[in-house]
Amino acid sequence: MRWIYARTTKARIDTVCVAMSLIAAVMTQSAMAATTVPASVMDEVLAGNAQDLIVLFETAKAAPAVPKLRTATRVEIVSHNDDGNEHDDNEDEDAAEILAHKVKHYRKIKARALHAIGTSGISAQQDYTYLPMIHVRVENLAALQNLLSNADVVAVYVNTAHQHALLESLPFIGQPSAQSLGKTGAGTTVAVLDTGINYTLAEFGACTSPGLPAGCRVPVAIDFAIEDNLLDDSGHGTNVAAIVAAVAPGTRIAALDIYTSGYTFTADIIAAINWSIANQALYNIVAINLSLGDGADNAIECPGSWATAPFADARAAGILH
């Protein structure tokens, strides 16, 4: 366990009993505010129960040249808002080469970290190629400690279950005034991360399959959770998508099914966000809808959330504008 102490304290400390030092290293590291996980995760791993975790890697190290590239490739498109002020339509939007650059560097950092962490007691479940994140399964304490003490790892999140949440009403989002100004969403796509969509309904263009016939407003439907062979197993996603369709009568909707029996897991939410970034240009995805929550009420942005990095990269790709 010497290397764990050396990395966290920058000092050489001789080790004693391996079993004791393993526990001590975990406690020491936690006390030093290095990467941590909830005690419940530690308890489960100690009890021999494998844990699914989401790993966030150091973003600055992952894409050090992105700010410079962004400046070099920015194409200014300036329009005017209704108040006459200029609006930079491309503000913070990543060009294709910046995305490719990010993907390459994320891959490099992940490969370095995973090589250092090793394969004993830990296995990759999903790689979110457009995000500095992966989904892993950890089977023992040594593997967990390797993960937490890796210099490239900045956060580890529990793959928690999320439940449906009710939508806010239209006035909160400026409808119908937006539509009356001609803002219908024509030419765009909204990714609805939910239980799927019954796209055979008239509201979506009575599709026989995604994108068919002409007039179908759902060009793509994918299951990110376990394939249930159903368009929508609860109706919630169809309800949400119908609201999107009504609010933005010109937009198309990507049906991203992230639910399994009333729950969606962090890993599947991130997978769908990653897909949205990867396919942003193909469908001109301008927004992601997530009508879900973990039961907690938060008045401000949650610090240390698993959602921070995916949302930041989605925004940078032109989504959530």
Nearest approach, Cβ of residue 194 and Ca ion (Å): 9
Nearest approach, Cβ of residue 255 and Ca ion (Å): 8
CA 202 vs CA 198, 238, 242: distances in Å: 10, 12, 10
Q: Which helix (H) or strand (E) is 271 found in, with range? A: helix 266-278
Residues touching Ca ion: how many (CB under 5 A)?
A: 7
Q: Which is nearer to Ca ion, 223 or 313 (CB)?
A: 223
CA 203 vs CA 161, 165, 189, 198, 246: distances in Å: 30, 22, 15, 10, 8
Residue with the CB atom nearest Ca ion in the bound state: 257
Binding mask 228-267 toward Ca ion (x if CB under 5 A, else -) reads: x-x--------------------------x-x--------
Q: Which is nearer to Ca ion, 157 or 199 (CB)?
A: 199
The rounded distance, in Å, linking the Cα atoms of 307 and 141 is 26
For 297, residues 6+ apart whose C-beta sits below 8 A from its C-beta are: none
Q: Which of these, 90, 126, 94, lies nearest to 110 by C-alpha position?
A: 126
Nearest approach, Cβ of residue 51 and Ca ion (Å): 23
The rounded distance, in Å, linking the Cα atoms of 162 and 301 is 17
Question: 6 near 125, Cβ under 8 Å?
Answer: no
Q: Which is nearer to Ca ion, 95 or 231 (CB)?
A: 231
Q: What is the DSSP string of 165-176?
A: -PPPPGGGGTTT
The rounded distance, in Å, linking the Cα atoms of 212 and 233 is 21
Nearest approach, Cβ of residue 253 and Ca ion (Å): 14
Nearest approach, Cβ of residue 260 and Ca ion (Å): 6
Binding mask 209-228 toward Ca ion (x if CB under 5 A, else -) reads: --------------x-x--x
Nearest approach, Cβ of residue 209 and Ca ion (Å): 13
Q: Which is nearer to Ca ion, 154 or 272 (CB)?
A: 272
Binding mask 170-209 toward Ca ion (x if CB under 5 A, else -) reads: --------------------------x-------------
Query: In the structure encoding, which two tokens stand for residue 213, read together?
Result: 């016939």
Q: Which is nearer to Ca ion, 6 or 230 (CB)?
A: 230
Nearest approach, Cβ of residue 204 and Ca ion (Å): 15
CA dihedral sign of residues 174, 180, 181, 182: positive
Q: Which is nearer to Ca ion, 25 or 193 (CB)?
A: 193
Q: Which is nearer to Ca ion, 125 or 308 (CB)?
A: 125
List of residues contacting Ca ion (CB under 5 A): 196, 223, 225, 228, 230, 257, 259
